[in-house]
Amino acid sequence: MPHTAPAVKPANPNFSSGPCSKRPGWTVEALAHALVGRSHRSKPGKVRIQRAIELTRELLEVPKDYLIGIVPASDTGAVEMALWSMLGERGVDMLAWESFGAGWVTDVVKQLKLEDARIIKAPYGELPDLGEVDCDRDVVFTWNGTTSGVRVPNADWIAADRKGLTFCDATSAAFAQKLDFPKLDVVTFSWQKALGGEAAHGVLILSPRAVARLESYKPERPLPKIFRLTKGDKLLAEVFDGATINTPSMLCIEDAIDAMEWGLQQGGLTGLQARADANFKVLADWVAKTEWVEFLAKDEVNRSNTSVCFSIVDPAVAALPDDKQAAFAKAMVARLDKAGAAYDIGAYKDAPSGLRIWAGSTIEADDLLVLTPWLDFAFAAEKLALTADAA
């Protein structure tokens, strides 16, 4: 185990899981032609917003009859808009195996107060039993658990002839994993994850079945303006045609366009998935030969190729009380941050202590190859300090 710092640092040490790293080669000059100082309702403004929608459809391979809209408040806003506007028509199965899925459970049970809500959950590192899901009910789930590194392997568990709607929080999955749109009715994500875009904007994708629900079901609860997707009994179609509910940042629009145009240059969705898979392989190869670390996700099939979460399993560290284990991991993170070798790689605040490294398509595999010796160094240095303290 190295006790001296490696000589070479990652060229890009930004391994945060959100906002994530910009695309390789990005500079602020990419935004030089952003439509700043102009109304988003102007003809040129609508053209740029529509361009972002068109690129989303092309890069994500969204079916032609699905609608795509840009909405307020990041992925959170997009999910909340869908839950508050559509749930309650029938019972709902809520899947939770990490922080964000648990957050949607709280909203549905404690805020919407839906009585017929079944909670199907699993601890960090595992998936719930997907066989328990009843697709004649509505289903709410995250495709990729950003804070646990556990994803659903596919959508085979969702019935093609379902009567309920599927609500899929696809942040950290979109643009890096294949989403099975025919099995999904509501899909949400934000630009600051796999695209490395800017925050505060969400994307909402609706199937024809979801549109039918919006136009046929009116929940008995007040809806704030930013949640309203209908007027009378009809969909606000303009939201999905470049006219946003509130004012978007044209800088953020331009940045998303830049990222998606880069994605097409990488070979589209297949190319972006391949980049993320290659990045994950670097980390998986390192874990296979490293005794002190293990994936938080127990089943290899369910491991995320974007938000990769690790547990520190060295016996001396694992024997510490939980707060001391957390302090050990935080000390590693701080050491790497101070060295400029890796930024923001601590586990999520509500997750088990450990490390979390973003490996999405905007990351270069070479940077991850250079990072792994730094991880070993940081562990060795903190283990030495732990041993000295014990003595």
Domain assignment present for 372: yes
At 121 the pLDDT is 97
Is the pLDDT confidence value at 2 over 70? no
Mean pLDDT within 120-133:
98
What percent of the chain is helix, strand and coil (3-state, nearest 5)?
Answer: 40, 15, 45
Same domain, 235 and 194: yes
**Which of the pair, 1 or 87, is modelled with greater confidence?**
87
| Torsion angle of the four alpha carbons 376, 379, 384, 385, in this order, in degrees rounded to the nearest 10 | 150
At 388 the pLDDT is 82
Domain assignment present for 113: yes
Same domain, 237 and 103: yes
Same domain, 235 and 328: no
Is the pLDDT confidence value at 73 over 70? yes
**Residue 86 belongs to a domain with what CATH number?**
3.40.640.10
Same domain, 275 and 148: no
Domain assignment present for 2: no
Same domain, 86 and 174: yes
Number of domains in the chain: 2
Domain final position from 248, 263, 278:
263
Domain assignment present for 22: no
Mean pLDDT within 154-163:
98
Domain assignment present for 23: no
In this prediction the pTM is 0.97
Q: In whole angstroms, how large is the CA radius of gyration of the chain?
A: 22
Domain final position from 263, 289, 305:
263
Domain assignment present for 17: no
Same domain, 161 and 245: yes
Same domain, 385 and 294: yes
Domain assignment present for 340: yes
Is the pLDDT confidence value at 383 over 80? yes
Q: Which domain holds residue 54?
A: 28-263
Give the chain's mean pLDDT.
96
pLDDT over 70 for what percent of the chain? Answer: 99
Is the pLDDT confidence value at 1 over 90? no
Report the alpha-carbon angle 256-283-198, nearest 5: 15
Q: pLDDT tier at 343 (50, 70, 90 boundaries)?
A: very high
Is the pLDDT confidence value at 243 over 90? no
In Å, what is the CA distance from 285 to each residue of 13, 161, 278, 279, 292? 20, 40, 11, 10, 14
pLDDT over 90 for what percent of the chain? Answer: 96
